Structure 1
Amino acid sequence: MNMKRITKLFLALAIVASPFTLTSCDDDYWGENDYYNNSLVNEAVHNYLAKYPNGSSYYTAYNWFYFYYPEATTSEFYDFMNAVGSNSYYNWNYNYRQDQNEQLSRLAQEAQTLTGEWAGDMTNEYTDDNTGERKRSSFHANMKFFQYRSSANSLQGNGVEIDTDARGNTQTLDFSWKVLDNGSIEIKYSKSTTIFILDANSVNDSFHLGYDESKGYDTFFGVARSTNTTDVLRFDLARQRPANAKAENALTRASSTASFGSAKENDYEKTTAGAVNGLRKR
């Protein structure tokens, strides 16, 4: 056997043996579907499916993605949603995605409008633990809402509230918040775990958030009902001008005149008449 034949023989043996070492199923999660040349999207899909192996609602996937990947681009978001949609019970088709994207865009705008500093009057109606009677306490409230990880697309975040009564007594309360898929807002106070829902669609006890045509700036007023206590909050707040803001529209969200919630009239003064000044821990 000459040298040329020996060389060909060893080359053939090498080719037969090599396929078993070239690929691994564990290393190629996507297989033939690995059409994303984006490590962020691939990582996000892996992590999402680890938490939701059977998929989730479109809204849940959206909120999860922007919570963990706040700096993602719009195209990365669409690639992620397209990838995980096939694993969802909802089986997102094109029309469904379009409808959901429009709804989520509206919710994101609501979250962006909520973000910032608000101040005004608030009344807490509650049941006295000793007498069982309904009582009310009124105070000045300053609330600051922050979106998680500073993502403009996040539908949730945290905040801090500072209450001051007529005697100068104060209390500071930490809370978390999120915009629900129906446009309602949930606020959960960290220490007490008391949860309040601001119903976006209620006929009588809703809220208004956003531009107020009668005043020319953003207002935030309405009713918040607790889901795990008997407390009811009534509030009348206005957006505060940032310390370094000089523009005329500093009391509105950019140039937006959008508003959210179904409340048409601010009846705070009517519903809190006779309330006693004071503070109640929440």
Structure 2
Amino acid sequence: MEEEVNYASVVFKANKASSPKAKSEEETVYDEVKVQENKTNQTADTPGVLPAGKSSGSCHHVQVVAWCLGILCVILLSAVIALCVYCNLTRDKGILESRNTNLTTENLQLKTEKSDLERRIENMTRERNELNLTRAQWSLDAYCPKKGNSQERQCGPCQEGWIHSPSLSSCYAIVDPDSSGQRTWEEAREDCRGKNSDLVIIGSLEEQKFIYEHSWGSTSETNGYWIGLRNASGSWKWVDGSNLTEEYWIKPPSANAHCAISLQKTLEKPKGWKAVDCTERNRWICEMNALSV
């Protein structure tokens, strides 16, 4: 703000009588000074206008207040940031503690599961040893039965009750139950598997003759003995997966018959096989390898 410069005219009066013209000029000069003095006083007394000294002091107070408010804002911002950091640290600490608790619980569970697994392995090992002993005893009794009241054992290449073919190195079980005990092809095969064997595989004419001569029971063409021959996906295969090479059919198999039975000799028909429905119930023949004695 530029300071206003006022000019005043001063007239020194002489101690002598002045002429009317001079008196008039003196009064004019006086009136001019009076007006300028009133304007100066009015400016000084006008509301809302501060003198230069007062305006400078007021600005200083405003600057001090502004600095204080700025410092207060900085303090509040720092407090907010510190509070946010504290909250985040507290949250992260809680998450870490929760994870630590979960890991501790999982570790205990793993230890428990490990103990259970070790106990199961120990039990399975003991049961397997007992089973091996039982099987060994069973095999001993099956292949080396005691004769009469004697404690001596006489061993053979086949289990007791099985038929041995020295030339074929096989043992055969002719299972010949009555009609109530007869089974489907699948059921008969499961029975053979339970005996550590499978349905018989006839791979030569010699074996076909052997099976024919040692099978007995019904001589009807509707009943026979299940053998390990089945139609799978349009081709006849043995239970070991080999293809049928030598055939002994009485008549060609029909489209709806997928399992084979071996028939006995009749007066009208020669020995051979017949294809029937696999769900029919018949007798069956099991085969297993003979032991070398």
TM-score by length of 2: 0.24
Larger radius of gyration, structure 1 or 2?
2
TM-score by length of 1: 0.24
Structure whose residues are more often helix by fraction:
2
